[in-house]
């Protein structure tokens, strides 16, 4: 078992680093102007920069192997969805490479953490670069943002490349922005693939 555990890997993820640990908290858009009504700060539409920060943070948690804190970013009725078909309309319109709610994702993480997860015996590490952020919809309560990604997986002395597009449906909740759905469109979703143990 060589995956880093959730504890003490990255102080940023634990909110102890130099980075603004409140970056995932709901906040008013400083450029939005306008005084909040008495009692509660006004929630304004998010900026692209704010949501791009969220995406970068989400990816960082995955690449650091901080799966438990990654799970916290999902709304309880959220969905992690990787279509099998290119341009697939919905998880109901075809089969999926992944179509998992937080309960199933917790099961996935529990298996990754199990000391006898044989598939995890060798090193399994990832690093991804995200860019090309686009704000597709922005409301005060919900937002949709997309990004292009390139992901390198390192497993048992082999590198494998994944590339494609992330599309996040986000919901503003008491604790901050949460993922209602993360859609991962792989450019080779319909190709023959070796086992995928990582979270894309």
Partner 1 sequence: METAMANWYEAGRAHASVYRDPEVFALERERLFKVAWIYVGHESQVERPGDYLRSELVDEPILLVRGADGEVRGFFNRCPHRGALIAREARGNAKLLQCAYHGWSFRHDGALQSIPYEEGYAGTDLGGQREAWGLTPLPRFASYRGFLFASLAAEGPDLESYLGPVAINLDNMVERSPLGKIAVWGSRFSIVKRNNWKVYLENLHDGAHALPTHVSSIRAAQQAIEQAPDEWTRLRAYIMAANAQSPKDMAQLPVQCYPNGHSDMSAFRKTRPDTPGQREYEEALARRYGHDGVERILGVDRNNAIIYPTLTVQPNWMQLRLLVPLDVETTRVDIWIFKILGAPEWIQQRIRAFTNTIHTPGSLVRADDLENFERVQLGLRARSVSGINVLREFTAEPAGPGPSTAMSERYVRNQLETWMRYMKEER
Closest distance of CB 87 from partner 1, Å: 11
131/46 Cα distance (integer angstroms): 18
Q: Which CB, 85 or 187, lies closer to partner 1?
A: 85
Tokens of 79: 């969905």
Q: Which CB, 127 or 188, lies closer to partner 1?
A: 188
Q: Which among 92, 88, 104, 93 has a CA at the least distance from the CA of 183? A: 88
Closest distance of CB 69 from partner 1, Å: 18
What one-character-per-residue DSSP string does 128-170 give?
EEEEEEEEEEE-SSEEEEEEEEEEEEEETTEEEEEEEEEEEEE
Closest distance of CB 119 from partner 1, Å: 4
5/14 Cα distance (integer angstroms): 12
Q: Which CB, 69 or 88, lies closer to partner 1?
A: 88
Q: Which CB, 29 or 99, lies closer to partner 1?
A: 99
User: How many CA atoms lie within 13 Å of 82's alpha carbon, on the beta-carbon side?
Assistant: 15
Contact residues toward partner 1 (CB under 8 A) are 82, 84-85, 92, 94-99, 101, 103-104, 106-108, 110-111, 114, 116-121, 190-197
Closest distance of CB 138 from partner 1, Å: 29
């Amino acid at each position: 078992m060589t995956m880093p555990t959730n504890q003490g890997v990255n102080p940023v993820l634990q909110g102890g680093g130099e980075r603004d640990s409140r970056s995932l908290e709901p906040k008013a858009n400083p450029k939005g102007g306008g005084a909040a009504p008495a009692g509660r700060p006004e929630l304004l539409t998010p900026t692209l920069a704010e949501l791009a920060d969220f995406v970068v943070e989400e990816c960082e948690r995955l690449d650091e192997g901080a799966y438990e804190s990654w799970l916290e970013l999902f709304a309880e009725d959220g969905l992690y969805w990787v279509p099998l078909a290119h341009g697939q309309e919905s998880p109901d319109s075809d089969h999926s490479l992944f179509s998992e709610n937080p309960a199933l994702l917790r099961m996935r993480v529990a298996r990754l953490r199990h000391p006898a997860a044989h598939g995890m015996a060798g090193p399994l590490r990832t690093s991804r670069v995200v860019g090309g952020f686009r704000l597709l919809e922005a409301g005060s309560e919900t937002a949709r943002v997309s990004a292009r990604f390139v992901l390198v997986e390192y497993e048992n002395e082999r590198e494998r490349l994944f590339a494609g597009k992330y599309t996040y449906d986000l919901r503003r909740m008491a604790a901050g922005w949460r993922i209602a759905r993360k859609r991962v469109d792989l450019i080779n979703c319909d190709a023959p693939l070796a086992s995928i143990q990582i979270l894309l």
